[in-house]
Amino acid sequence: MAASNQKTILVTGGAGFIGSHTVVELLQQDYNVVIVDDLSNSSPIAIDRIRQIVGSQRADNLVFYQINVLNAEALGKVFEDHDIFAIIHFAGFKAVGESTQKPLEYYWNNVTGLMTTANVARAHGVKRIIFSSSATVYGEPAFIPITEDCPMAKTTNPYGETKAMCERILTDLFRADDEYSVVLLRYFNPIGAHESGLIGEDPAGIPNNLLPYVSQVAVGKLKEIHVFGNDYPTPDGTGVRDYIHVVDLARGHVAALRWLEGTVGTGTVEDAASLVGPTDEEGLRHGVAVFNLGTGTGTSVLQIIHAFEEACGHELPYVIDPRRPGDIAENYAACDKARTEMGWVAEYDIKRMCEDSWRWQSQNPNGFEG
Ligand code: WQD
């Protein structure tokens, strides 16, 4: 580690899609970063690419351990060897459809993984956790645009349940001990890639999500896009979502750190899910702060396809299939709170998201494995 005067952030799952982009932003803000990742759903090449993006000097501030967060002993050694200021917890399985087939694996890996991480952290006096949550916790939202006041609903899958459970666990940790500082970041639909084209989304097998599927059709790996339903009550009948550039999302995590550090916002986070805690003598904030990370704009499946055609320069074949079970018609964020309280707003539009996604996919037709 070179920058000893800077805070050290532990990023679990830091070799993954959102994790790797967040690590780049943290290093570029001169934080020290420790990545813990078991590489079960990511590649060690992503770590090399992070170093390539940030340059050798900042790469010295990055350490990587191939560890599963369920391995409490190995994780404890990381806390012994590094003075961790805060944890950003991404580690977890994230395929909605797969979670309905493998509920035990998802509850074990995602919920026990979080609890193990929090337990080991507490044993080393670390009580600042930024958690990778999801708009899935809103289930079929009571209203849109969705604010942080929108009630958490029964989610439609075990993956979503694990996110809701982890939010409740972290909230109860603060209720029992006001030394905890928790930020729950509810992502909408992360897409895109770093502008260098060196890192991006690299799903294993056939992609479940729209964007990686579209980009693999564009690069010729898959034959045609399957549009899951065009009879929804939306402008063009296809599903509408709030797509957010993964780099905007990554910067939202840096903003969350700044919020914990007390250097942005007023600390007032009145909403149904947040709990305001004390600010300590160092000005550091405690409590539970919930933020939606989205753009506030809904985009349909057909709009995504047309935007990607512009980005890749050729038409993309698609067929209309029946609706996918569990899908909702429309979902997009109200993200005023992140703007006013964290000073964070998504900058990039759909055009830029598709251009950056295409650059990554065309330069890496088979993802990190070349
Ligand atoms: C988007 C739209 C589909 C694939 C999920 C998780 C959520 C978050 C993001 C983790 C929908 C349509 C999709 C395809 C299609 N993940 N679609 N053809 O379902 O909004 O959200 O991923 O946090 O938690 O729930 O994303 O990309 O699967 O679907 O027509 O091949 O694209 O019907 O309207 P989703 P998605």
Element (H, E) at 234: none
Cα–chain center distance at 72: 23
H helices of the chain, where?
Answer: 17-28, 44-54, 56-59, 72-81, 96-101, 103-106, 113-123, 158-176, 210-218, 246-261, 301-312, 336-342, 350-363
d(CA 188, CA 330): 12
CB of residue 327 inside a 6 A radius of ligand 1: yes
* Category of 217 on φ-ψ map: left (φ > 0), alpha (ψ -120 to 50) or beta: alpha
Check residue 298 and give its pLDDT. 98
For ligand 1, mutation pick of 99, 222, 228, 245 (most atoms within 8 Å of CB)? 228
Check residue 180 and give its pLDDT. 97
Q: What is the DSSP letter of 57?
A: H
Check residue 3 and give its pLDDT. 53
d(CA 203, CA 367): 8
Catalytic site includes residue 159: yes
CA-to-CA separations, 28 to 24, 147, 251, in angstroms, rounded: 6, 30, 11
Show the low-confidence residues of the chain (pLDDT under 50): none
Check residue 323 and give its pLDDT. 96
Nearest CA to ligand 1 atom 8: 189
d(CA 265, CA 284): 12
Q: Which atom of ligand 1 lies nearest, measured to the CA of 328?
A: 34
Nearest CA to ligand 1 atom 4: 210
Check residue 143 and give its pLDDT. 96
Under 8 Å CB-to-CB from 190, ≥6 apart: which residues? 17, 18, 243, 244, 245, 246, 249
CB of residue 94 inside a 6 A radius of ligand 1: yes
Residue from 107, 138, 159, 332 carrying the catalytic annotation: 159
Cα-to-centroid distance, 210 and ligand 1 (Å): 6
Per residue in 139-161, pLDDT tens?
889 999 999 999 998 887 899 99
Cα-to-centroid distance, 150 and ligand 1 (Å): 20
- One-letter identity of residue 78: V
Question: What is the bridge-based pairing of β-strands 285-293 and 275-279?
Answer: antiparallel
Cα-to-centroid distance, 258 and ligand 1 (Å): 30
Range 261-267, long-range pairs (CB < 8 A, 24+ positions): 261/285, 264/341, 264/342, 264/343, 265/340, 265/341, 265/342, 265/343, 266/341
CB of residue 189 inside a 6 A radius of ligand 1: yes
Q: What is the DSSP letter of 136?
A: G
Instruction: Read off the tokens for 251.
Output: 């910067």
Q: Which atom of ligand 1 lies nearest, measured to the CA of 135?
A: 24
Per residue in 283-333, pLDDT tens?
899 999 999 999 999 999 999 999 999 999 999 999 999 999 889 899 999
For ligand 1, mutation pick of 324, 350, 357 (most atoms within 8 Å of CB)? 324
Residue-wise DSSP of 254-319: HHHHHHHHTSSS-S---SSS-EEEEE-TTS-EEEEEEEEES-S--EEHHHHHHHHHHHHTS---EE
Check residue 4 and give its pLDDT. 56
Reduced to 3 states (helix: H, G, I; strand: E, B; else coil), residue 142 is coil
Q: What is the CA radius of gyration of the chain?
A: 20
Q: Which atom of ligand 1 lies nearest, measured to the CA of 327?
A: 33
